[in-house]
Chains A and B, each alone.
Chain A
Amino acid sequence: MFLAMKEMMHSKTRFTMIVIIFVLIAWLVFILSGLGNGLSSLAASVFKNMDTDYVVFQQGSQSSMSKSLLSENLVDEAEDIPHITAAAPMGSSMATALKGQSNNNDDKVDIAVLGIEPGSFLEPAVIEGERLSADNPGNVIANVTMKDEGFKLGDTFQLDGSAESLTIVGFVENQTYNHVAAVFTPMSQWRKIAFAAPGSDKGIADPVNAIMLQGNKIDPDAVDAKLSGTDTATRAGAVQGMPGFKEENGTILMMLAFLLAISAFVLGVFFYVITIQKTNQFGIMKAIGAKNGFLSKAIISQVFVLSLVSIVVAVMLTYGTAAVMPKGMPFKLETNLVIAYSALLLVIALLSSLVSVRRITKIDPLKALGRVE
C-alpha cells in the first residue's frame, strides 16, 4: 500500500487518466445493466412481483400464457394436491384503451388486461383507491403509469374493438406486462373481453390461461400427473416463456458480457504497460532485498484502490444519469445489481492485474546493476 499510494500521489495525471477510462467502462456497464433490468421488468414485472412458485400451463404451450388455455375447474383439483397451499387462475390479453372517443394518437394506450379472482393472492396491493370486487366486474385496478397517460381514479374507458368499458377504481405499482401497463380485472370481465368472438374459448368451460400455485416443495411432475393435459413450470420459467423475453434479455446480456470481457483486456493491458515501464525500478528494489510478494502486493493494492475509486465514481454517475433520464426510458437500477456488477468489475480488474504480477516475479534484479556481462 505504501508504494502504491506514494506512486499515485506522485503521478496524479497518469493515474487520473486510468481512472477516467475505468470510470467510463464501469459507467457503461451500470447503464447497460440498468437498461436490461428496466426492460425485463417492463416485460414481466407482473410475474416477477407475483407471490407464486409454480405456474400450470396447458400441455405444449411452452410456458407461454398466450399459447395456453385451461379450465378454471382445475383450480379446485390443484388445491387438493399435497404441498400446494393455494391456487389461483389468471388470464391475460392485450388491448387498447381509448381515452374518450377521439382519434388522436395520444388517446390510444396499449394495455395488458389481466383477469384474476378478486381477493386471490394474485391481486396486487393498491397504493391508491379500492381493491377489485366480484360484484362490480367493470371496476379495475391499473398500473400507476396509466396516470402519465392521462387516466385518473374513477375514469371509465372503452376498449378498442370491444363493447366493454372499464372503470379505474384503484392504482397499483410495478405491474407491467409485455412492456405495457397491466390492468387487473375480475375474471368474469376478462372472459368477456378475451373471448368476445364465439368459439374462441374452444369450448372449454370457464377458460383461463394459467393457474398460479403457492406452496412448499411442489413437485411439478406430480402436478402434471394429477391434472390432465397440463405442463407445470416455475415462475422463472413462465417469465422466460413470455414472447420476446429471452431474445430481449439475451441481447442485453450479450452486450454486457462483451463489455466485461473487453474491459478485462483493456485494463489488463493498461496495468501491464505501466508495470513494464517500471521494470528498472522493480529490479532495483529487488536488488536491495524486496521480495516478489512485497512488489506484487504493491501492484495489487494499487489496482484495488484505482478500481474502487473508479467504481464509486461510476456508481455516482450512474445514479446521476438515472435521475435525468426521460420517464419513459425503461431504466431501473437495483442496489443488489449495482453491488453485484461492482464486485464483478473489481474482480475483473484484480484478475487482469495478475498478468503484471507475473511479469514482476520474472524481473531479474541483476538488471539493476545495469551492465550484465
Chain B
Amino acid sequence: MNKGLQLRNISKYYDEGSHRVAALDRVSISVAPGELVAVIGPSGSGKSTFLSIAGALLQASEGEVELNGQNITKLPDKQLSAIRLKEIGFIMQSSNLVPYLNVLDQLLLVKKMSGKVTAKDKAWAVKLLEDLGMGAKLQRFPEELSGGEKQRTAIARSLVNDPNVILADEPTASLDTKRAHEVVSLIEKEVKARQKAAIMVTHDERMLEYCNHVYRMEDGKMSLVRL
C-alpha cells in the first residue's frame, strides 16, 4: 500500500464554447508522509484546479487519485465530504475562519461535523492550539487575531482530525515576510513531526526553502523544479 498522496495522469477539461480547454494535462505527483511539497506557478496555470482535485473537491476528467492507499477517483459526493473531513486538512487563505466562532470552537466545529465532541476531543484541540502557540487566545474571535494568529488557528484546525494529507492554498497570501516565514516553518514542523503528506500551493518564492520538492505548473502541465 502506498502511504501519502498519489495523483496519476490527472487531466481536467473544461468546455469553453465549442472547444475543450485542458486546465490540467496529465499531471502526476506523489507525496510521501513527512514531505512538504510546493507547487508554484502563475495564476491561471491550473494550481487551484490541481489542489481541488487533490483535495477531493473536484472530480478529475481522467486519471487517478489515491489517498493513503484508497482510490478516491470515483467516489460519490457524500463520501468525498467524509474523506475531506477525516483524511484531508485544508489551510486556506487568511480569511477562512468562521467569524462567529472563537479559536477553540473553530477546532471543535470540525469535531462536531463528525458527531459529538468528547472531553478527549476538547483536550486534544487545546493541546494542538498550545503547540501552535495559541494557548493564550483560545477564547478570541477571528476579528481579534492578527493574520499570523489566524493562520496558526487554521493550521491547528487542519490537524484536528489527524488527517493523512495537508493541503495549503496560498497560506501566506496576506502576511508580511516575518509572519509568512513563521507560518510556513510551523507547517513544515508539524508535517515532519506528525508525518503528514503535505502540498502547498503558493507563488511566494521566499517559502520554497521549507519544502522538500518544488513543482512548477504552467498551462496545466506540471514539472519538477527542485528535488
Interface residues of A (CB under 8 A from B): 2-3, 6-7, 9-11, 281, 284-291, 294, 365-366, 368-373
Contact = CB atoms under 8 A, between A and B. Distances in A.
Contacts of B110: 288-289
Nearest to A282: B98
B113 A289 contact: yes
A289 B90 CA distance: 10
Residue among B83, B96, B161 with most chain A CB within 10 A = B96
Interface residues of B, number: 41
Contacts of B150: none
Given A6-B100, A6-B101, A373 B92 contact: no
Contact of B113 (A284, A290, A365, A369): A290
Given A289-B113, A366-B57, A369-B169, A284 B96 contact: yes
B28 interface: no
11 contacts: A2-B112, A3-B101, A10-B99, A281-B99, A284-B92, A288-B84, A289-B83, A289-B84, A290-B113, A369-B51, A371-B43
A285 to B, nearest CB: 7
Contact of B98 (A284, A369, A370, A371): A284
Contacts of B90: 287-288
Contacts of A294: 112-113
Given A287-B55, A288-B110, A291-B81, A369 B43 contact: no
Contact of A366 (B52, B78, B100, B101): B52
Interface in B88-114: 88-90, 92-93, 96, 98-101, 105, 108-110, 112-114
B23 A373 contact: yes
Interface in B42-67: 43-44, 46-49, 51-52, 55, 57-58
Contacts of B46: 373
B58 A289 contact: no
Contact of B85 (A11, A284, A289, A368): A289
A372 B86 CA distance: 24
A175 B198 CA distance: 81
A174 B221 CA distance: 86
A2 B57 contact: no
Given A371-B48, A373-B23, A281 B92 contact: no
B54 to A, nearest CB: 11
Given A288-B85, A288-B157, A290-B81, A370 B93 contact: yes
Contacts of B43: 371
Given A2-B112, A287-B92, A373 B105 contact: no
Given A281-B98, A365-B57, 6 more contacts: A3-B98, A9-B100, A289-B83, A291-B78, A370-B92, A373-B23
A132 to B, nearest CB: 69
B81 A286 contact: yes
A11 B44 contact: no
B82 interface: yes
Contacts of A11: 100
Nearest to A9: B100
Contact of B100 (A7, A365, A368, A372): A7
Nearest to A295: B113
A23 to B, nearest CB: 23
B215 interface: no
B218 to A, nearest CB: 13
Contacts of A365: 57, 84
A285 B114 CA distance: 12
Contact of B92 (A7, A290, A291, A369): A369
A369 B50 CA distance: 11
A373 B49 contact: yes
A122 B158 CA distance: 77
A372 B101 CA distance: 26
A285 B109 contact: yes
A167 to B, nearest CB: 72
Contact of A369 (B48, B86, B105, B112): B48
Most chain A Cβ neighbours within 10 Å, of B43, B57, B93, B114 = B57
Contacts of A10: 99-101, 141
B81 A289 contact: yes
B100 A369 contact: no
A18 to B, nearest CB: 15
A197 B149 CA distance: 97
Given A6-B105, A373-B44, A289 B100 contact: no
B142 to A, nearest CB: 11
A102 B57 CA distance: 90
A288 B55 CA distance: 9
Interface in B118-152: 141
A7 B46 CA distance: 36
A285 B58 CA distance: 16
Interface in B173-210: none
B84 A372 contact: no
A2 B98 CA distance: 13
A284 B158 CA distance: 12
